[in-house]
Amino acid sequence: MRGAEAEKLVHRSLLFSSPFSEVVANGERFNRLTVNGKPGTFRSLRLIQRSMPKISHKAGAMPASPIRKLVPYADKAKKEGKKIFHLNIGQPDIETPEVMLNAIKNSNIRVIEYTHSAGTESYRKKLAAYYQRFNMPVNVEDVMITTGGSEAIEIAMMTCFNPGDEIIIPEPFYANYNGFSCAADLVIKPIRSYIETGFALPPIAEFEKMITPKTKGIMICNPGNPTGYLYTREELEALKEIVKKYDLFLLSDEVYREFCYDNKQYVSVMHLSGIDNNIVLLDSISKRYSACGARIGALISKNKEVMAGALKFAQARLSPPTFGQVGAEAALETPQSYFDAVTKEYTARRNFVIESLNKMEGVFCPKPSGAFYCIARLPIDNADIFCQWLLESFNHNGQTVMLAPATGFYSTPGAGINEVRIAYVLNLTDLANAMSCLEAALKVYPGRTIAKTETVAEVK
Amino acid sequence: MRGAEAEKLVHRSLLFSSPFSEVVANGERFNRLTVNGKPGTFRSLRLIQRSMPKISHKAGAMPASPIRKLVPYADKAKKEGKKIFHLNIGQPDIETPEVMLNAIKNSNIRVIEYTHSAGTESYRKKLAAYYQRFNMPVNVEDVMITTGGSEAIEIAMMTCFNPGDEIIIPEPFYANYNGFSCAADLVIKPIRSYIETGFALPPIAEFEKMITPKTKGIMICNPGNPTGYLYTREELEALKEIVKKYDLFLLSDEVYREFCYDNKQYVSVMHLSGIDNNIVLLDSISKRYSACGARIGALISKNKEVMAGALKFAQARLSPPTFGQVGAEAALETPQSYFDAVTKEYTARRNFVIESLNKMEGVFCPKPSGAFYCIARLPIDNADIFCQWLLESFNHNGQTVMLAPATGFYSTPGAGINEVRIAYVLNLTDLANAMSCLEAALKVYPGRTIAKTETVAEVK
């Protein structure tokens, strides 16, 4: 079966307009023949029987997790007996509140049933009340419970944006925004923030320059992962003006709300007035209660169209996890003393880490006011190589440290090449050992970019 | 700001090539003006300031759950004091195995951490062994744990198919396949199966007729939701040949594996030889252990490209629920006596429901061999109207029954207009009352299509 017979079965228009390199005719799969880089005619197609179907372009284009790509090197180092301090992921060591764990243990569930697709009504009601305590005007009908903050982002992107739409996101940003944008065929337009200003919001004029007819939203993370930066009211008001002017969606990922230091005030996008229909708040209990594995988040908006659209995506996946919701509802009773202790602990960790880093020769790290991350600039040639080298080729008294190269948090090629993200999610003793490892490593790393006798002044 | 100034800011090419009806210029949103149905020139655009950004086309196009759309009528009926027998959803009343509930209650988790994105290694290992007990050649590296069967479907579709690709699915099919296809921009090509044959696989020649250059897969549900049909080995072998011939993916949703009756043999796509790279198995513990709310499923394939692509989607959403996995792993120890009792119970329910239905005048219901659903043809004008009428306008001794109109399970317009899906998920006493309600309702329903004196022979 070739030539004329096959030709009958293939739609010629499809053959030459299709972006795909293959066509199927009568059960046999053809690769398009190219002659000098141009497609050949149909008669010159080469007939190739493939042994397996191809996965999607999207699956190929999806970014692998930049945080997890070093894991094989860490596994190997562990097998060799090295002790690794994990400052690379946002998995806190803090215990989940007793009240949450107990609710799950003591639940008298006999049948683990689906809940409402938007989450149980009792949890939604209590969650709305939780936001009201932060003076955020959230009512029960504005709340949809999601399977982790991840699903809130995924559903928000699919609900708000068409394939090819552009969303402006200050970089460095949480790396998984790339994955969800890829899944939703959304184009991220990064706008650079800089370590020198502590990753403050770029000037609004810079946002305005990036607006095109395809721009349909802005997304922020506040307090920021990976920067730890806490946006001021002035910055948020500036965002509000541009959102209003260009009629954009403003997606705000505020999962680190409870992690603000130095008595600085947390300002939510829900505190902004006059842009109710533009705002989509993305939330999660993962960090708040150190309950990452519960997979409970929330999508919140006062825009009725957004909530109706989002619910349809939620209905397709039936419901968020039942035990996670039982725990999350109970966790709302967590006493303030828990948060006070956590804030005190993270403040001490942050102070120690930032001070330690800035004491190291050639290192600069701005002091963040929120979350539990910081980005440090190191005197190194390449953070990806350095982080791999730490695991593969370095140890300090049998110990080493695992960091996240900041390159994975930037979209702009080359940005963050000498920066790393550090999650201060270990206790002070472990952090002290980790900082010792890092300091020792920087002294002997082959790709060190400053001579050993240089002073630190110039870099800082 | 209009005319020339705005013109500078809009890419003209984008304006006229864009499928969207609006463009943004310098912060103001324009609706494209049409003159006699044709787009006007840019200068003739009408300037409209919108008060809120628009949601995506996809969010608009997403189907609302056909099973859940009757819920408001049910809520109203309940408020009016009616007792409703819910035969409309696949939420079993069967208790979750003790071993599963106990594992969750007795877990000594202090921090609810993320697990591996593909699920905990211990659970994956045990799950592979579970499949091996069914003579399915599944190894640990072929298994990825998902957040419910829903996520397995969603990730499989995004991994295997490009936007615009076609997938052939025998109809009637599980309605949420529509939602996931919409989210993945995948085109479902339904192939009709008929109540007269008990919803057997349509002849392979019918599949072959539907193959186009865009066809990239076939999807089945076995045992079937909503039909209860259990595919024979011959049917699966026939599917294998066409899958092989056209190099297609074969997605098989086998979440009702444990629900096969009359000692009929369950044949999995994993029992087919020679098409390892084409097969993607979609699974869930929701029905197996009556644990719908645990949100634990699995995506299984021996195709390494599929597994690598799927893992990237899984990494973006971090991990499946921790407590669900703890429970699911323990549930693998559920004693055979549990399944024996469940099979006995569902067999009795099925026999009762099918017998009751076929005794009713003008009703026809084939006897399914699997799952816990059946589709019945009723002597009614319109199943959507009938099901709503049951809730709104009918009661039998203060009771009524909630059914799912079969129209929601067909893609072909008009198909299933006089059919309903019945989930026999209630105990025999409740089922008896429900059947009495249905019988009484059919006698007085205004849209009844046979005269009261007609015999049933002709319809059957």
Q: Are B406 and B400 in contact (CB under 8 A)?
A: no
What's residue A8's pLDDT? 36
Rounded to whole angstroms, how far apart are CA atoms A171 and A415?
Answer: 9
Sequence letter at residue A298 = A
Rounded to whole angstroms, how far apart are CA atoms B304 and B139?
Answer: 12
Option in A54, A158, A216 nearest B53 (CB): A216
Reduced to 3 states (helix: H, G, I; strand: E, B; else coil), residue B175 is coil
Q: Are B165 and B186 in contact (CB under 8 A)?
A: yes
Number of A–B residue contacts, CB under 8 Å: 308
Q: A304 and chain B: CB distance < 8 Å anywhere?
A: no
Q: A63 and chain B: CB distance < 8 Å anywhere?
A: yes
* Confidence grade of residue A50 (pLDDT, cut at 50, 70, 90): low
**Residue range A289-313: mean pLDDT, rounded:** 97
Question: Which residue in chain B is spatially nearest to A296 when comparing CA positions?
Answer: B321
DSSP label of B72: H
B72 vs A120 pLDDT, higher one: A120
Q: A210 and chain B: CB distance < 8 Å anywhere?
A: no
Q: B48 and chain A: CB distance < 8 Å anywhere?
A: no
Contact A248 B27 (CB under 8 A): no
Q: B85 and chain A: CB distance < 8 Å anywhere?
A: no
pLDDT in tens, A278-287: 999 999 999 9
Which chain B residues are Cβ-neighbours of A323 within 8 angstroms? 104, 293-294, 321, 323-324, 327
Give the pairing of strands B83-86 and A166-171.
Answer: unpaired
Per-residue pLDDT for chain B (460 aa), expressed as one digit of tens each? 343 443 333 333 333 333 334 444 444 444 443 334 344 444 333 333 456 899 999 999 998 877 778 988 999 999 999 999 999 988 888 999 999 999 999 999 999 999 999 999 999 999 999 999 999 999 999 999 999 999 999 999 999 999 999 999 999 999 999 999 999 999 999 999 999 999 999 999 999 999 999 999 999 999 999 999 999 999 999 999 999 999 999 999 999 999 999 999 999 999 999 999 999 999 999 999 999 999 999 999 999 999 999 999 999 999 999 999 999 999 999 999 999 999 999 999 999 999 999 999 999 999 999 999 999 999 999 999 999 999 999 999 999 999 999 999 999 999 999 999 999 999 999 999 999 999 999 999 999 998 765 444 443 3
What's residue B50's pLDDT? 54
What's residue B35's pLDDT? 35
Q: Lay out the sheet containing A46-47: strands in order across.
A: A22-25, A28-31, A46-47
Q: A188 and chain B: CB distance < 8 Å anywhere?
A: no
3-state secondary structure chain A: CCHHHHHHHCCHHHHHHCCCCEEEECCEEEECCEECCEECCHHHCEECCCCCCCCCHHHHHCCCCCCCCCHHHHHHHHHCCCEEEECCCCCCCCCCCHHHHHHHHCCCCCCCCCCCCCCCHHHHHHHHHHHHHCCCCCCHHHEEEECHHHHHHHHHHHHHCCCCCEEEEEECCCCHHHHHHHHCCCEEEEEECCHHHCCCCCCHHHHHHHCCCCEEEEEEECCCCCCCCCCCHHHHHHHHHHHHHHCCEEEEECCCCCCECCCCCCCCHHHCCCCHHHEEEEEECCCCCCCHHHCCEEEECCCHHHHHHHHHHHHHCCCCCHHHHHHHHHHCCCCHHHHHHHHHHHHHHHHHHHHHHHHCCCCECCCCCECCEEEEECCECCHHHHHHHHHHCCCECCEEEECEEHHHHCCCCCCCCCEEEEECCCCHHHHHHHHHHHHHHHHHCCCECCCCCCCCCCCC
What's residue B66's pLDDT? 73
Option in B50, B101, B312 nearest A247 (CB): B50
Reduced to 3 states (helix: H, G, I; strand: E, B; else coil), residue B99 is helix
Rounded to whole angstroms, how far apart are CA atoms A292 and B112?
Answer: 6
Q: Are A156 and A358 in contact (CB under 8 A)?
A: no
A302 vs B91 pLDDT, higher one: A302
Task: Kindly state the helix (H) or strand (E) to which residue B428 belongs, with its residue range.
Answer: helix B428-444
What's residue A91's pLDDT? 82
Option in A101, A162, A278 nearest B52 (CB): A278
Which one of A178, A276, A315, A426 makes the best mutation probe of the B interface by having the most chain B beta carbons within 10 Å?
A315
CB neighbours (10 Å) of residue B418? 21
- ipTM entry: 0.86
Contact A247 B52 (CB under 8 A): yes
Option in B57, B93, B247 nearest A111 (CB): B93
Q: What are phi and psi of B180, to 5 degrees?
A: -70, -35
What's residue A35's pLDDT? 35
C-alpha dihedral sign at A350, A352, A355, A357? negative
* Structural domains in chain A, sorted by start: 3-50 (no CATH), 62-94+336-459 (3.90.1150.10), 112-331 (3.40.640.10)
Q: Are B19 and B9 in contact (CB under 8 A)?
A: no
CB neighbours (10 Å) of residue B355? 12
Option in A185, A246, A295 nearest B321 (CB): A295
Contact A93 B111 (CB under 8 A): yes
Report the percent of chain A where pLDDT is more than 90: 82
Contact A112 B96 (CB under 8 A): yes
* Confidence grade of residue A408 (pLDDT, cut at 50, 70, 90): very high
What would the two tokens of residue B40 be? 């006007």
What's residue A22's pLDDT? 44
Interface of B with A in 356-415 (CB under 8 A): none
pLDDT in tens, A130-145: 999 999 999 999 999 9
Q: A176 and chain B: CB distance < 8 Å anywhere?
A: yes
User: What residues contact residue A68 under an 8 Å CB cut-off, 6+ apart?
Assistant: B117, B315
What's residue B32's pLDDT? 41
What's residue A2's pLDDT? 40
Contact B293 A112 (CB under 8 A): yes
CB neighbours (10 Å) of residue B200? 17
Residue written as token pair 């939510």 = A268
Contact A316 B180 (CB under 8 A): yes
What's residue A69's pLDDT? 80
* Confidence grade of residue A12 (pLDDT, cut at 50, 70, 90): very low
What's residue A51's pLDDT? 63
Q: Lay out the sheet containing B28-31: strands in order across.
A: B22-25, B28-31, B46-47
Q: What is the mean pLDDT of chain A?
A: 89
Q: B340 and chain A: CB distance < 8 Å anywhere?
A: no
pLDDT in tens, A209-268: 999 999 999 999 999 999 999 999 999 999 999 999 999 999 999 999 999 999 999 999
What's residue B51's pLDDT? 63
Q: Chain B: nearest CA to A447, how far in angstroms?
A: 31
The length of chain B, given as a count of residues: 460
Name residue B217's beta-bridge partners.
B167, B249
Which chain B residues are Cβ-neighbours of A292 within 8 angstroms? 112-114, 318-319
Contact B160 A56 (CB under 8 A): yes
Rounded to whole angstroms, how far apart are CA atoms A59 and B156?
Answer: 10
What would the two tokens of residue B179 be? 């939602």
Q: B71 and chain A: CB distance < 8 Å anywhere?
A: no
Q: A158 and chain B: CB distance < 8 Å anywhere?
A: yes
User: What residues contact residue B23 under an 8 Å CB cut-off, 6+ apart?
Assistant: A213, B10, B14, B15, B29, B30, B32, B45
pLDDT in tens, B198-253: 999 999 999 999 999 999 999 999 999 999 999 999 999 999 999 999 999 999 99
What's residue B205's pLDDT? 96
In the predicted model, is pLDDT for residue A379 greater than 60?
yes
* Confidence grade of residue A390 (pLDDT, cut at 50, 70, 90): very high
Cis peptide before A163 (omega within 30 of 0): no
User: What residues contact residue B244 under an 8 Å CB cut-off, 6+ apart?
Assistant: B274, B275, B278
Reduced to 3 states (helix: H, G, I; strand: E, B; else coil), residue B252 is strand
A458 vs A63 pLDDT, higher one: A63
Report the percent of chain A where pLDDT is more than 70: 87
Contact B293 A114 (CB under 8 A): yes
What would the two tokens of residue A392 be? 């593969």
Q: Chain A: nearest CA to B401, how far in angstroms?
A: 20
What would the two tokens of residue A207 be? 């946002």
Name residue B121's beta-bridge partners.
none
Q: B29 and chain A: CB distance < 8 Å anywhere?
A: yes
